[in-house]
Amino acid sequence: MARRSNTPGCGCGGCLGFLFGWVTLAYVLLLPITLPELLAVQEHGPRTTTPVQDIGLWTASALVVLALAWGAQGRRRPSPPTLLLHTALFSASAALAFWGATWANRSIAAYARTHPTAGAASPTELPWSFTATLETVAAAGAMMITFHAVRRWCRRDDPPQRVVIHGPRPGTDRDRPGSTDREVRRPRTGEIWLADVPLREDDSQTLQHYCVVVRNHAAYADVMQITSKDKTGRRDFIPIPNDGWDYTEYDHWLDVALPPRRVSYAGFLKSTPQGRCPQQTWQAITQIMNHPRPSHQTNKARTRRPTGDPRPPHGSRRSGQRR
């Protein structure tokens, strides 16, 4: 059955994510301010927290801000100045929302005092629970807006692009409804994907391999193949760490002897990447792309002598060879 595009569960999921995600982060962020107020309300007078409590509360608040500032960068690792700037933006947005909610509470209480309801006592201030809830929700909304704004700004040079693939999904029936057209995100350079990569020996045949995207084009991408077969000691392969994309114990190598292979976007087998290429491997790929090997070295790397058929020593002859 074809997937419905107007599923009503998406809105409920977004609301639940806001309530249990952003509101929880805002609650932890505002604990250094709201907890002393709660203690003062319960004791009917001013009460301060202990120094140990202050250290724990402010540490938790700082960790929330740092986590948001780091996550807003996406998969890229932010530099220290960028991380500091993002931290300041999140702190400023949460502070403005908090003080805005406080001003709104005071304005509502002042209006209630000046316009009393018949038969009801005029409150001097609103209940603490209402005040704290409004401040938390306002801070959550401000942090969510700031997070998406910073994330969009970080992706301004690399906007997400989607490609409509015409044809059946690999491994599906051509007559199956909904399997002829699909929309996928265009792979970006430096990402690792699972795709049908042309074989090393015969580029007319393909095999499922993980690969690193090195260039993007309108209808295809240039990739370098990753293999888990042991290539220790071979100069046409370089080791690639598993950090960030593979969590198995197998070692992997990257084929750098051949030029990047062309894979159409229909050949990418997943809708999301496996992860990012490790930094040290990507630097090696960039150096190889900028300084390609001569053709005779590439052909020498591709040509392998069969095992058990060594080159005869100088002056010797093979079996059946005339003198």
Cβ burial, residue 318 (10 Å; 0-12/13-18/19+): exposed
Per-residue pLDDT of 31-59, as tens digits, reads 888 888 777 777 666 666 788 888 888 99
What is this structure's pTM? 0.47
Q: How many Å apart are CA 163 and CA 292, to the nearest integer?
A: 30
Rounded to whole angstroms, the Cα distance separating 94 from 101 reads: 11
Structural domains of the chain in order of their starting residue, each with its CATH number: 13-115+125-154 (no CATH), 187-301 (2.30.30.110)
Per-residue pLDDT tens digits of the chain, which is 323 residues long: 333 444 444 556 666 666 678 888 888 888 888 888 777 777 666 666 788 888 888 999 999 999 988 888 776 677 788 888 888 999 899 889 888 888 887 887 777 777 766 445 455 556 777 788 888 888 888 989 999 888 888 776 554 466 666 555 555 544 445 455 666 678 888 999 999 999 878 888 889 999 999 998 878 899 999 998 888 888 889 999 988 788 787 889 999 888 899 998 888 888 788 888 998 899 999 888 887 665 444 444 444 444 344 444 433 344 344 33
- What are 168-225's pLDDT values in tens digits? 555 554 444 545 566 667 888 899 999 999 987 888 888 999 999 999 887 889 999 9
Distance, in Å, from the CA atom of 95 to the CA atom of 217, rounded to the nearest integer, reads 45
Strands 191-198 and 275-276: antiparallel
SS (H, E, C) the chain: CCCCCCCCHHHHHHHHHHHHHHHHHHHHHCHHHHHHHHHHHHHCCCCCCCHHHHHHHHHHHHHHHHHHHHHCCCCCCCCHHHHHHHHHHHHHHHHHHHHHHHHHHHHHHHHHHHCCCCCCCCCCCCCHHHHHHHHHHHHHHHHHHHHHHHHHHHCCCCCCCEEEEECCCCCCCCCCCCCCEEEEECCCCCEEEEEEEECCCCCCCEEEEEEEEEEECCCEEEEEEEECCCCCCCCCEEEECCCCCCCCCCCEEEECCCCCEEEEHHHECCCCCCEECCHHHHHHHHHHHHCCCCHHHHHHHHCCCCCCCCCCCCCCCCCCCCC
Place of tokens 């629970």: 129
